Amino acid sequence: MLSPSLVHPFTLRPFTLRPFGRLARVRAAISTWAVVGAAVFGSACDRPGPSPAPTRDVIDSLFARFAQPGAPGASVLVVRHDSVLLRASFGLADVEAQVAATPATNYRLASLSKQFTATAIILLARDGMLALDAPVRDFLPALPAYASAVTIRHLLTHTSGLWDYEDFVPDTQVVQVHDADALALLRAHSDRLYFAPGSEWRYSNTGYALLALVVERVSGARFADVLRARIFVPLEMHDTFAHEEGRTTIPRRAWGYTVRNGAVVRTDQSSTSAVLGDGGVYSSLDDLARWHASLDRAPLVGDSLWRATSTAFTLTNRTPTEYGFGWFVDRLHGRRRLRHHGETRGFTNAVSRFPDDGVTIVVLTNRTGSEPWDIVDALADLYLP
């Protein structure tokens, strides 16, 4: 439980997801009562569902380490179709200022950002501005010639064979790198692919940094601005940004921390934190509720392209991978699942979607190495029938 000095008064306020963009035809009103700084159960207990709502003590036990006095925080969202079953926050968004985390706190999503990069690419493909099977060098001619067979689809699915640019960034580096630097690092330090494109799977942040550059080349606009115009504004995700230092201000920002030998140390940025395409988005539970409602009801990219997004890529030897476009695709206890983890200095996050059950679970934390995927799996056991 939270220290009494850190608990806000039990302020009840409704959260409603209003119709937006393509969702104007969908009355996806999502309402719950939020107790700021503590777990929430009121609406979940009153709603019929396939599984009984877990007790507050059960949820508190999952988040006990985040609720200790002076601890970096966590926020959790569980949604079933249009109903918010759990929307809660624990601990601190800003340890030094003793600011509590809330459902409106904005966390760095790290690799959860990849789903937005993939969506931007797919929207451009839907608009006829690029083809998913087009060579990346058609858009980025500076990409080395050895990568001439690498396509946009290969970047999306981590099957390009490109080296990870982070392998070339020294641990001691202080100056931050950007998306364009990922391309420069490839040119300077690699002379081959790991494997022929499409023949194997290897997770690589390089692919998504390059996709951000492709978005800029095709659209003629900054990557962060494309995400705002094509995704965040239409879905009324007003507090979600691809963060560019000096250009964007993150409201209600969570700062990143690492716990070392019991001491809480601010570790908010790394040398790769300025790369946007692979992990530079900040968002909150409330904005992510809108995002996931759109996927459940009316994906921005359309139903056909969403099916492609959420389908695992098949290698050239006909072996299926477990990755689509910005999402891992697998099963948990026999249930179809879309999931992703996001881990960077100071932040660790996890999301799982169970499309056949209409259940989405999100856990965001501003703490290095907090392993929230275990919490997400535990919540899946509690909320799925």
Catalytic (active-site) positions: 111
Distance separating alpha carbons of residues 257 and 94, to the nearest angstrom: 9
Q: Which long-range contacts (CB under 8 A, 24 or more apart) does 188-191 make?
A: 189/163, 190/144, 190/162, 190/163, 191/144, 191/146
Query: Is the CB of residue 383 less than 8 Å from the CB of residue 361?
Result: yes
Distance separating alpha carbons of residues 319 and 328, to the nearest angstrom: 15
Query: What is the enclosing helix (H) or strand (E) of 100?
Result: strand 99-100
Closest listed residue to residue 384, CA positions, set 376, 33, 293:
376
Closest listed residue to residue 188, CA positions, set 169, 205, 175, 202:
169
Quick check: helix, strand or coil at residue 228? Answer: helix
Query: Is the CB of residue 56 less than 8 Å from the CB of residue 39?
Result: yes
Alpha-carbon dihedral angle through residues 128, 131, 136, 137, given to the nearest 10 degrees:
-70
Distance separating alpha carbons of residues 10 and 26, to the nearest angstrom: 32
Closest listed residue to residue 139, CA positions, set 183, 175, 95:
183
Distance separating alpha carbons of residues 314 and 198, to the nearest angstrom: 8
The letter for the amino acid at 62 is L
In order of 63, 252, 331, 362, 379, the CA distances from 383 in angstroms are: 16, 29, 16, 13, 6
Listed in sequence order, the DSSP H helices in 2-113 are: 42-46, 56-62
